[in-house]
Structure 1
Amino acid sequence: MTPMARTFLTSAALTALVLPTAIQAQSIGYGNVGDGPGADAPSDAPDTGRPARSGRNGRGGGGKQVAVIPYVEVNQIVNAELSPGDEVLTYTQVAAGVDASISGRNNALAASVRYEHHFGWGKRAGDGDTISGLVNGYTTVARGLTVEGGALATRASGDRGGVGFGSRGFDDNGSTKIYSVYAGPSFATRAGDVALSANYRAGYTKVDQDNDVDFDGEDFGIGSFDVFDESVVQIADVSAMLAPGTALPVGLGAAGSFYQEDVSNLDQRVRDMQARGIVTVPVNRNLQVTGALGYENVEISSRDAVRGPNGAPLVRNGRYVTDDSAPRQIAYDVDGLIWDVGVMWRPSRRTSLTAHVGRRYGSTSFNGTLTYAPNDRSALNVMVYDNVAGFGGQVTRLLDGLPEDFEAVRDPISGELRGCASTLSGNGCLSGALGSIRSATFRARGVAASYTLKMGGLDAGIGAGYDRRKFIAARGTILASANGVVDQNYWLAAFLSGRIDPQSGWATNGYAQWLKSNDLALDNITNVGASASYYRLLTARLRATAAVGIDGTLQPEPLDDIWTASALVGMRYSF
């Protein structure tokens, strides 16, 4: 097991032990998401840009519910290349994992963590191990004070991301592994009629790529080595809000936020500070109009790579070596007034809409969320976002915003996390944040939508979205050629499962992903795939499983498309 994998397992285990918790809706951006479907947020909830944990509002009903299911598996897998070759590889997979859900009035946990080792048969099938998991939650330390945390581990296909999309390769050759962990406190209280809140998050993200290229000579281009390594993220915000109808007919508030991400690649740094005043005007019982005016300062900077005698950059372990003695170069520097106007509409406890338009980052900015849960069995969630960050910042925001109750959707053959988790409390999709793993920082704008249905033994969901990243890099550095490059990620993920009888059931899932870039060094790629599985309980704890899947990578001419079919038979024992 790699050191990074051991680090993730330790972090995930500590999170699960220290933070009995659950998971909340993905929110990438700025604007009040509000509580999940079914929650009834107070009208004076501050617009902090952070989703509220519904469990803190007592939705657990005071009764504690605990479900912890550890398991072990032994599976036999056949992986057959259909195009352009015809190679057939066989693996024996040994896995151990745990699925957990704990919910109560003061704390909650949702977790799915899995370790696998693959033994390859023959010279061409290599051995490998994989950690995959999703953990998130909070625990109440004192009245109004909670500590939240979470972790993610998954594997992407290729050097452009894809959160487990693409062919099901089982050895470590060419794999890209993503690890992330975050934690921090949240505090909310009142001083008379004024609602006060403060939040802080610290996150760490690491991309472990099987690429040990070293050279001092020819420059092969930015596309070869502009792969994210690791970053540390800090996010903080504070607000004070006076609700309409207390001291004045309108609501008044003030809020401030701080974001900083330090990326190891070429010592890149993103810093975003803002302060704003907020006015809330009630239109009727269900509708409020908001306006905000403030000041923001955003700066992105980096250093250059170490250069050889011929001016070519030095590369170690597949990434550029930072010249720590080089002066810091400014890539992006915007400061001045910011503003937005928006609406907050909550016609019932099952429907919530927020929408904002304004000026940030020197141009027009849109963001908002829609949650609609017509009943306790289905939910629709839509989110529009706009922010400046690095890859690690997007993943930290993703973890901090995941729903507090979810079931991981895993590929039945590889065991990897798929595009969306199954949840009725928010947008549990991972694909938007994990679409591109360049090291350069960027402005991200996009939309993500998901619909989930649980009815009897049927569990269904679909998610779709679009993520556009325009990269920002300093002139005069090795990353200069990435400045202005636009990567676009269109994605679709769906799952459907059900029971045949009390002893057996089935599951299917499918995905499609379109990766486009105006970088001439990269090709536009389409990834598609689907899988189906059947299980039957042989005893109360022993389960037999059979599964089949197909995956394709569609590439522009003259490159050949890649198609792979896979099959699995195995046994799982749950403790």
Structure 2
Amino acid sequence: MSRARLLAASMLALAAIPAAAEPQRYVQPYIELSQAVAADLTNGGDVLTYTQAAVGVDAGVSTRRAQAQVSYRYERRIDWQQPVADQDVHSGLALASVQVTPALTLDAGAMATRTRSDIRGAAPGNLVGNVANVAQVYSLFAGPTVATRAGMLDIGGAYRFGYTKVEVPDVPSAVPGQPPLDYFDTSRSHLATASIGVPVGRVAPFGVTLSGAWEREDAGQLDQTYDGRYARGDVTMPLSRTVAVRAGAGYETIAVKQRDPLTDATGGPVRDGNGRFVTDPASPARIAYRTDGLIYDAGVIWRPSPRLELQASAGWRYGGQTYFGSLHWAMSREAALGVVVYDGVETFGRQLRDGLGDLPTAFDTRPDPFGQQFAGCVFGARPGQDASTGGGAGGCLNDVFQSISTASYRARGVDAVLSVGRGRTRYGIGAGYANRRLYGVRARPGVTVTGVEDQSAYVQAFWSRDLSRASALDASLFANWYASGVSGLNPGSGGDVWGWGANGTYSHRFGRLGTLASIGVYGFDQPGLDTQWSAQALLGARYDF
């Protein structure tokens, strides 16, 4: 079975989770046929016309012990004149959480989406047609979580397996005067965590927790491996009914290793037919990044109500200062806000796995005839009703998809997402900033990222209104900024890439048959090239079974 079919099967399987008594469950398969046109508005560019045939399913279940949702879509694009590069497109998101016993929960998720590949290259908002620098991504995770009590002690543990696959862009990105980078292939990761402790107030006015973790990832490019382990202790002390302080310390070791690329007679790296480096089998595993030593941090927790929690911490990790925190605010049953400040040593596969795991199991699925969902912000379908998990507002994956890096990196930044659903109207906005410091083996053939810093910022918003029981209007807009330090393209030195766009969709239903019309305008500006503008329009019909 191909990777695409395997992912589709896993998404569909999540819809079949057994439900408990009085479940809220729906399964809505559909077929769709539409006519689309994509026009390059720059310098009298090409106009691409094609027919789009799609099949998909929207399904979900919500019970006392099971929460799951899946939205999956496969498109086949049939060009009229010019060949369409991405003729087979998979787009979908599936998330599930099932409480098997009071102590055991199983979590799983899967994603298929298209996103930008090289941070230095084109930033197209229109992802249909023969656009450059767009790659198809597949990812999934699964694993159990255990939480139980033994006497005075709370005991917990979890395991997560993650898998990510990235296809090479159909149309490579042109980066004037810059060397090509290699392409991410696959990664497999394992994360195991365990903790034991006494909570606040059980035997003393303070709480104590001992915890540890081990993480391993094996990536296909240059046989890269990530191995990280830590053990630490934490103490939490309430200062009042709403405020507590916490502090912790421990020991951590992380090592990222990779082999050299094979070189040709000129000393340059050898690439395979997809543009990926060919690994030198005789090369030793070299250190790309290593840290080993004491870690510590302290912070404050403010929880004035079960619907509002703020955490802020600072400390020492990765050989320097670190800052992190979060805000989860369920403002009402219809509105929620989530903010996360993060700092960690990451790889693309691991960061995507963790980002998927942080998304809510009930998410908004707006009409998306061009299959552009799930590569940015995912908004919660029940924003203010999931306050206990902190995931009701949703989450943004823009920091993960800043670029598809084959190297490891230190990721620091902030993401914020607001989600509101009131009556017939839903809207949301997400914004954030991300900084990556890339790691690689110095002075090796083809390695150009060592010590480089990449940056990005984004804002994304949507508005949706049910005009009647049968008709709806949806609109969205976005803007992105990217700055790469590769080969001298430092932030502020003229190497900035900008992307922006807006689209709207009107839909109307006639029983099981639905119709839709969509239009959008997009643009991006890339160093060394003229500003690119494009537009797309679509008319289609959808039949729900």
- Normalized against structure 2, the TM-score is what? 0.91
What's the offset of the Cα at 1:325?
2.2
Task: Report matched runs for 1:41-440 at 5 Å.
Answer: 63-125=22-84, 128-160=87-119, 166-170=125-129, 175-210=134-169, 223-316=179-272, 317-409=274-366, 411-414=368-371, 416-417=373-374, 419-423=376-380, 424=383, 425-440=392-407
Alignment partner, residue 11 of structure 2: 12
Q: Does the C-alpha gap of structure 1 residues 331 and 104 become closer, same or farther in structure 2, counting only changes over 3 Å?
A: same
Change (3 A) 1:175 1:527: same
CA 1:452–1:161 in 2, change beyond 3 Å: closer, same or farther? farther
Letter in 1 for 2:365: A
Contact 2:335 2:393 in 1 (8 A): no
Deviation at 1:248, TM superposition (A): 2.2
Q: Deviations over 1:307-348 (max 9, x none)?
A: 123322110021101113211111222111110101222111
Which letter maps to 1:561?
T
> Looking at both structures, which has the greater relative contact order when contacts are Cα pairs under 8 Å and sequence separation is at least 6?
1
Q: Does 1:572 align with 2:542?
A: yes
Of stretches 122-131 and 304-313 in structure 1, the one that deviates more from structure 2 is 122-131
Q: CA deviation at 1:13?
A: 2.8
C-alpha displacement of 1:545:
0.6
Q: What do residues 335-375 of structure 1 show as CA deviations (whole Å, max 9, x unaligned)?
A: 11110101222111110111111111111111111011121
Query: d(CA) in 1 for partners of 2:314 and 2:56?
Result: 44
2:520 maps to amino acid: G
Change (3 A) 1:451 1:509: same
Give the aligned partner of residue 438 of structure 2: 471
Structure 2 equivalent of residue 457 of structure 1: 424
d(CA) in 1 for partners of 2:426 and 2:433?
A: 24
1:377 counterpart letter in structure 2: E
Partner Cα separation in structure 2 for residue 203 and residue 310 of structure 1:
38
CA distance 1:112–1:143, change in 2 (3 Å): same
1:544-575 deviation digits (Å, cap 9, x = unpaired): 1111101111123x411111111111111112
Unaligned runs of at least 5 residues, structure 2: 384-391, 490-494
Q: Is the 8 A contact 1:260 1:269 kept in 2?
A: yes
Q: Secondary structure at the match of 1:245?
A: coil
Q: Distance in 1 between matches of 2:319 and 2:350?
A: 20
Query: 3-state SS of the aligned residue for 1:224?
Result: coil
Moved more, 100-109 or 400-409: 400-409
Aligned match of 1:528: 500
Pairing 1:493-508 to 2, within 5 Å after superposition: 493-508=460-475
Contact 1:474–1:480 (Cα < 8 Å) also in 2: yes
Choose 178-187 or 323-332, whichever is displaced more.
Answer: 323-332
SS in structure 2 at match of 1:477? coil
Q: Quick one: distance in 2 between partners of 1:163 and 1:134?
A: 25
Task: Please say which of residues 243-252 and 132-141 is displaced more in the overlay.
Answer: 243-252
Q: Counterpart of 1:51? A: none
Give the secondary structure class of the aligned counterpart of 1:428. Answer: strand
> Counterpart of 1:304 in 2: which secondary structure?
coil
The range that moved more, 133-142 or 198-207, is 133-142
Tell me, what secondary structure is at the counterpart of 2:406?
Answer: coil
Q: Distance in 1 between matches of 2:5 and 2:149?
A: 42
Deviation (angstroms), 1:98: 1.0
Q: Which runs of 4+ in 1 moved over 4 A?
A: 124-127, 161-165, 171-174, 220-223
Instruction: Tell me how far 1:410 sits from its aligned partner.
Output: 5.5
The answer to whether the 8 A contact 1:162-1:435 is kept is no
**Contact in 2 for aligned 1:154/1:163 (Cα 8 Å):** no
> Deviations along 1:165-191, whole A, 9 cap, x unmatched?
522323587641010011111000001
Between 1:151-160 and 1:185-194, the stretch displaced more is 151-160
Evaluate the alpha carbon distance shift between residue 321 and residue 18 of structure 1 in structure 2; reply closer, same or farther with a 3 A threshold: farther
Kindly indicate whether the alpha-carbon contact (under 8 Å) linking 1:496 and 1:509 is maintained by their aligned counterparts in 2.
Answer: yes
Quick one: percent identity of the two aligned structures? 38
Contact 2:416-2:430 within 8 A present in 1 as well: yes
The answer to which of 378-387 and 153-162 deviates more is: 153-162
Q: Matched residues in 1 for 2:537 and 2:276: separation?
A: 36
CA deviation vs aligned residue, 1:95-129 (integer Å, no higher than 9, x gap): 11111221111111011110001100113545701
- Structure 2 counterpart SS, 1:225: coil
Q: Displacement, 1:405?
A: 1.3
Aligned to 2:386: none
Rate the CA distance shift 1:255–1:164 in 2: closer, same or farther, 3 A.
farther
- Aligned mates of 2:131, 2:124 — CA distance in 1: 16
Per-residue CA deviation, residues 513-556 of structure 1 (Å, 9 max, x unaligned), is 1111111376421110000111111x221111111101111123
Distance (whole Å) between structure 2 residues aligned to residue 499 and residue 422 of structure 1: 17
Mapped partners of 1:66, 1:301: distance in 2: 46
RMSD between aligned residues = 2.4
Whether the 8 Å contact between 1:109 and 1:404 is mirrored in structure 2 is: yes
Task: Say whether the 8 Å CA contact 1:508–1:530 is kept in structure 2.
Answer: yes
The corresponding residue for 2:523 is 552
SS at 2:401's partner residue?
coil
Matched with 2:389 is none
Once residues 243 and 498 of structure 2 are traced to their aligned partners in structure 1, the CA distance between those partners, rounded to angstroms, is: 42
Query: Match of 2:357, SS?
Result: helix
Give the Cα–Cα distance (whole angstroms) in 2 for the partners of residues 212 and 566 of structure 1: 19
Shift in CA distance, 212/267, structure 1 to aligned 2, threshold 3 Å: farther
Q: Which shows bigger deviation, 501-510 or 479-488?
A: 479-488
- Kept in 2, the 8 Å contact 1:541–1:574? The answer is yes
**Partner residue in 2 for 1:481:** 448
Q: Is the 8 A contact 2:15 2:27 kept in 1?
A: no
**Do the aligned partners of residues 436 and 175 (structure 1) sit closer, same or farther apart at CA in structure 2, a change above 3 Å counting?**
closer
Deviates more, 1:133-142 or 1:377-386: 133-142
SS at match of 1:396: helix
172 and 553 in structure 1: CA distance in 2 versus 1, 3 angstrom threshold: closer
How far 1:211 sits from its partner (Å)?
6.1
CA distance in 2 between partners of 1:140 and 1:243 (Å) = 23
